[in-house]
Amino acid sequence: MSHAKSREDANGECRDSKSRVTIVGSGSWGSVAAKLVASNALKLPSFHDEVRMWVFEEVLPNGEKLTDAINKTNENANYLPGIKLGRNVVADPDLENAVKEANMLVFVTPHQFMDGICKKLKGKIKGEVEAISLVKGMEVKKEGPCMISSLITKELGINCCVLMGANIANEIAVEKFSEATVGYRESREIADTWVQLFSTPYFMVTPVHDVEGVELCGTLKNVVAIAAGFVDGLEMGNNTKVSAAIMRIGLREMKALSKLMFPSVKDSTFFESCGVADVITTCFGGRNRRVAEAFAQSGGKRSFDELEAEMLEGQKLQGVSTAREVYETLNHCAMTKRAAEEAPPSTDSSTTGPNFLGCYRDQVAELLSQEERIPHHEDGDTKKPSTEIIGAGISSLKREKLKALLRQCVTDLIPGVDEMQSRARSMLLMSQLSNKKPSISVTNEEVEDDIQLLLKSDPRLFKEIVKKHTDDVLTSLNNMQQQAEKLLDNVATSCRPMSRDEKRDLQRSIKELPGGNLKRIAEIIKDHRAASGKAFSDEVTVNLEEEDNTMLWRLHFYVAAVKSARKLAS
């Protein structure tokens, strides 16, 4: 993108050649970014003076809106008090309005909000627009981990560089010397433009042709900082030596994980500002280290959420959520590899594939067998059940691992379910075509010309093919159901005792189910009794007071799933 040429807006009308910048985010780092960019926009002839900053609207203690206060005082009283942002910074609470004239977007919000921001802006970004992400973190989606820069590119259809480095917002705000790295994927010219926009005598920026490496350094260093805070809070010997070991090991693991996710990541990137320098800075002076230290000093009795609210004054803690995402990413990589290795050999690709459910079932069973179960006691009023259902009898660490396993299981299962649904629909359509009674619409994408030709030329062969593929789909679905049943049985064994009120609610919900669902209830009970070695007859009588706790929660999960499905269908 050339900044010397005229540009077209969403209506195809020519604008002037000067670029406009919008900062998407207004926390402490977002405010500092606005200050840096605004000072350079005034000096660079290829940029408009005005720099817009999208502000998530808040109300100050005096009743004034944060946006109004910023525009009146030129300060962000909530997140960067006492620092003038620049007379050309304009705060805007309307996200779409803030970005509509801009052709250079700077994203700098907590990574948890980026998915929602991108969805809101999807289809609203027109013309030649460039982006840069200062966001530290990643999204874990059904197809695996997704870096924020990739999320921006995918959702908004624009190129996105990244800026990460050894810097602390409050220190840059008072113009103490610091540095950063711009990672770029495509054009060095664009990277140099971002370097121009951010560079000042006290903030040195250098470009590196390695988006993924730079971004992962900025993301993963917060996890290392959590570990550094733990060792400080636990007073594990000489803090300097211990922290040095944590940083060395942490940097090594950052490099290993980065190359596992993206083999193209360069070794040299870890020696840039975004790498070793940022790890050192964050482990000694960052918010993640401070909060983790307080967590360790409390013996884990105070939650990270509580400490975040108390210590960070509205800012977000990144390291804890990133650690969870790293765990899910590693688990996704391990499960994908393990499932692929355990897939049974077959010449028919339609009936094979990674056995994700079987792998997760084994992982859950292994996790639950790793330690002696902790006796479950209700807090306070014994009539009031704990809010924790799954894993209530194991340690909090094991419970979080169990929940992460189940979340990732659902994520990995979605593509398989989508594929089964697509195959089942195709089989239904082909079956109806063979009977010349199609009840669903037919499009060129769904029925290829050769299928139409086969149907006309050899109806018998066509029916045989339909039957074979239908049987394959039913076999796959049956296998998937069996594995899901076993997984649910393992999970249900970890659930706390069901209260009397919950049993009554379950009984009421079962009575309200349609006949088809009641039949499934009977099947679940029969299967469970058979697996438990209990006698049962063809006629099933449900008496929840006599059923064991595992059975109760299995029924609870099924009823909850039916309710969710009916709600989505309504």
Catalytic annotation, residues: 221
User: Which candidate, 48, 278, 24, 9, places its Cα nearest to that of 132?
Assistant: 24
Taking the C-alpha atoms of residue 72 and residue 75, their distance in angstroms, rounded to an integer, is 8
Residue at 293: amino acid letter:
E
* CA–CA dist 400, 328 (Å, integer): 11
- What phi, psi does 57 have (nearest 5°)? -60, 130
User: What's at 32, amino acid-wise?
Assistant: V
Phi and psi torsions of 8, nearest 5°: -110, 145
Question: Residue 129: helix, strand or coil by DSSP?
Answer: coil
Question: Which ranges of 63-147 would DSSP assign to H, the alpha helix?
Answer: 66-73, 95-99, 114-121
Half-sphere exposure of residue 226: CA atoms within 13 angstroms, side-chain side? 16
Angle at 35 between CA 71 and CA 320, to 5 degrees: 100
Q: Which backbone phi and psi does 7 adopt, to 5 degrees?
A: -120, 160
Burial class (CB in 10 A: 0-12, 13-18, 19+), 14: exposed
Q: In whole angstroms, what is the distance from residue 403 CA to residue 409 CA?
A: 10
Angstrom distance (rounded) from CA 434 to CA 203: 71
Q: Retrieve residue 254's tokens.
A: 């950052």
Tell me the DSSP string of 411-439.
HHHHHHHHHHHHHHHHHHHHHHHHTT---
- In degrees rounded to 5, what are phi and psi of residue 54? -75, 130
User: Which of 417-427 are b and which e, b meaning 16 or more Cβ less than 10 Å from the residue's Cβ?
Assistant: eeeeeebbebb
State the amino acid at position 106 in one-letter form.
V
| Of 332, 354, 341, 363, the residue nearest 261 (C-alpha) | 332
